[in-house]
Amino acid sequence: MAKRSETAARLDDAARAGWLYYVAGRTQDEIAAAMGISRQSAQRLVSLAVAERLIKVRLDHPIAACLELASQLRRKFGLKHVEVVPSDSGSSATVGIAEAAAAEIERWLKRAEPIVLAVGTGRTLKAAVDQLPAIECPNHRIVSLTGNIAPDGSAAYYNVIFSMADAVKARHYPMPLPVLVTSAEERELLHGQQLVRSTLDMSAQADVTFVGIGELGIDGPLCVDGFLEKDEMMELMRGGAVGEICGWIFDVDGRLLDNPINERVASAPIPSRDTSMVIGLAKGKRKFKAIRAAIVGQQINALITDEETAEFLLRN
């Protein structure tokens, strides 16, 4: 208990230091003097505030080039919504997209009328959810499309609904299932359970859905996270698979494949693109093919990506 309150006190200090630094514009020296600590400690607190994501930065300006790309993408593929953020080749995979997606999630959650918001899985989505500020929206319901049990039986790390529950006060509905089950029959059985059934029904009514788009390959998330073995992956790719959303594997035209793996996917079906806004989050060269396939196959009807990817999609 003492431990927790100490940590909390430290975060309090970090918040204070971060506020003084970023909002009040003081130097770390001044903060140190004001808080009665050394300059180094002040620096540490400021950087802690950033690391703990207490400090949220957002850019409030439509960059013309990005807007233009977004508009072209929307037209070319008939998408409902497109957001393009500046590319930054050097930085990690999720920078930019995560912030933009968090802002979009926030916009939905701030609506007055009750909505059902569905989330998939993936690193990008996790990063986006980590950017969310604390929001109270008891009217909304948040439902996970994918199971929260990893191959080794633990709770899956990238099951984002739990991270979301930390920040957002709303009713959350996780999916108490593994991501992949052993057979189509087992899936039927599990999906028949009352609790699972009602969660599946709710996900089908989602007003908006946020999903990551995964590429295939031995470096792709399905392999890295241990859902598939290398040889299974190779087999899939020989069968024409190029990407996945919530584990649902599709080919270069975005059609869900009729193969043994997809029969074992226990995730909810992606909500209808006619009634739900299904927003895909993805960027990067390795995902180009998967993103393109998801769009043309209408697995998604909205997209948040970066300039580089947007340009690729427009060229191809």
Partner DNA sequence: TCGTTTATTGAGTAATTGCCCATGAGCGAA
Partner DNA sequence: TTCGCTCATGGGCAATTACTCAATAAACGA
Binding site for a copy of itself (CB under 8 A): 8-9, 11-12, 14-16, 18-20, 22-26, 30, 34-36, 49, 52-65, 67-68, 71, 85-86, 88, 90-91, 95-96, 99, 103, 106-107, 110, 133-134
- Comparison of 55 and 313: residue with beta carbon closer to DNA: 55
CB-neighbour burial class of residue 309 (10 A; exposed 0-12, middle 13-18, buried 19+): buried
> What is the rounded distance in angstroms from the CA atom of residue 11 to the CA atom of residue 159?
26
Q: How many CB atoms lie within 10 A of CB 4?
A: 8
- Comparison of 26 and 81: residue with beta carbon closer to DNA: 26
Dihedral angle of Cα 222, 173, 208, 111, to the nearest 10 degrees: -140
Q: What is residue 20's DSSP assignment? A: I
Query: From DNA, a copy of itself, none, which one binds at residue 11 (CB under 5 to 8 Å depending on kind)?
Result: a copy of itself
The nearest distance, CB 21 to DNA, in angstroms, is 6
Q: How many CB atoms lie within 10 A of CB 19?
A: 16
Query: From a copy of itself, DNA, none, which one binds at residue 40 (CB under 5 to 8 Å depending on kind)?
Result: DNA
The nearest distance, CB 95 to DNA, in angstroms, is 15
Q: What is residue 258's DSSP assignment? A: -
3-class SS of residue 145 = strand
- Comparison of 41 and 259: residue with beta carbon closer to DNA: 41
The nearest distance, CB 210 to DNA, in angstroms, is 24
3-class SS of residue 300 = coil
- Comparison of 40 and 71: residue with beta carbon closer to DNA: 40
Q: Which two tokens stand for residue 7?
A: 């940590």
The nearest distance, CB 7 to a copy of itself, in angstroms, is 12
Query: From DNA, a copy of itself, none, which one binds at residue 168 (CB under 5 to 8 Å depending on kind)?
Result: none
The nearest distance, CB 130 to a copy of itself, in angstroms, is 11
- The identity of residue 174, as a single letter, is P
**Which residues are at the interface with DNA (CB under 7 A)?**
21, 27-29, 37-41, 43-44, 46-47
> What is the rounded distance in angstroms from the CA atom of residue 284 to the CA atom of residue 112?
35
